[in-house]
Amino acid sequence: MEEITVNLHNHSDISDGTGNYYEIAQAGLNAKIDVLIITDHNVVVRGKDSYYYREGNKLLLLIGEEINDPIGVPGNHLIILNSSREYASAASDPQTVIDSVNKEGGITILAHPFENAKKQLHMKSFPWSDWSAHDFSGLEIYNFMSQFKCGVTNFFSLPGHYLRPINFQMGADENTLAKWDELLSMGYRVSGFAGSDSHRFQKKVGPKTFKIFDYELTCRALNNHVYIPKPLVGDVEEDKKVIYAALRNGCFFVGADMITSTAGFSFRADTETGIYYSGARIPIGNSATLKIRIPEKSICRLISNGKVYKQWESVQSVPITITEPGYYRVECYLPYKNKLRGWIYSNPIYFFKG
């Protein structure tokens, strides 16, 4: 399997971001990621999926959408990928949208579902409230800008967060992780996604303009590491199909690359019938061995059915034999600036009684 880096959830100047597609693609090339997905608010742009090249590197820019109902309850932001239709006008009815996108083979992700920005700074929160919704592809378990908004406690802490945003990223949102485990325990197949929610907001204070934050910074900070069967070939349509299939199937992990690169992490199951990766749904048979490779020593947890199944530290590779059906996913934590940070979140491997 090939591992590629996909940065998701970026806003351009077509909605409320400040960079155009070319500038955002250059930021992605600087950060040396493979794929950057733009999801502007309530607008879908056709025919702009494209490769950008520079100095032997290539970046695939893909265009999705983030919809919400502008006159209804604030929140319920839904990211839609790999769809050929415009759904903004139907945003007040998320379930109809989710069902329709599923029929197309597209992807739906509940964006920043438990966002809770600090009120003191008058930053707005846009959580998900329609929990009657089901059959969506995933939850945005880690949103870079939400971590920023939720971490700034008061006006005086703002400069520190602005100057050193990485220092204040603690990991995936705890409430979202709990909801994810709840849904997985109920038998839903739901993937965990990372989103930058990058806008490059610009604030003018006197003669100085502050950028919150450069697209390049968020491209380096937090990514989806996606497994594909063979390297990208450089053909937009062909590569798009492979990337969206892997994202839809949950064949990826979330990596907080800002701490140190998460590339090289691997989580797989060896069974009598073959080798399987995140997102696979497989019969348990007599037994299965989970093999986890971690790029650096860290505190790791194997989570199953809402509980920590096993925890270990300072080991790079661990085989774990399992015999019980259920979902299994991995979380890794690393100390950074004297605090433990969420570093890697795998998507689950699902076992059922064969």
Contact footprint for Zn ion (CB under 5 A)? 66, 77, 111, 197
Cis peptide before 213 (omega within 30 of 0): yes
Q: Which residues contact 241 (CB under 8 A, 6 or more apart)?
A: none
Q: Which residue's CB is nearer to Zn ion, number 111 or number 221? A: 111
Q: How far is the CB of 197 from Zn ion (least distance, A)?
A: 4
Q: Which helix (H) or strand (E) holds 86?
A: none
Q: Which residue's CB is nearer to Zn ion, number 126 or number 345? A: 126
- Residue 61 CA to residue 65 CA, distance in Å, equals 13
Q: What is the DSSP string of 224-241?
A: EEEEESS---S-HHHHHH
Q: How far is the CB of 250 from Zn ion (least distance, A)?
A: 21
Q: How far is the CB of 9 from Zn ion (least distance, A)?
A: 6
Q: Which residue's CB is nearer to Zn ion, number 111 or number 303? A: 111
Q: Which residue's CB is nearer to Zn ion, number 215 or number 227? A: 215
Q: Which residues contact 276 (CB under 8 A, 6 or more apart)?
A: 268, 269, 282, 349
Q: Which residue's CB is nearer to Zn ion, number 65 or number 197? A: 197
Structure tokens at 207: 């003669």
Q: Which residue is nearest to Zn ion (CB)?
A: 77
DSSP bridge pairs for 267? 292
- Residue 3 CA to residue 323 CA, distance in Å, equals 28
- Residue 17 CA to residue 211 CA, distance in Å, equals 11
Q: How far is the CB of 77 from Zn ion (least distance, A)?
A: 3
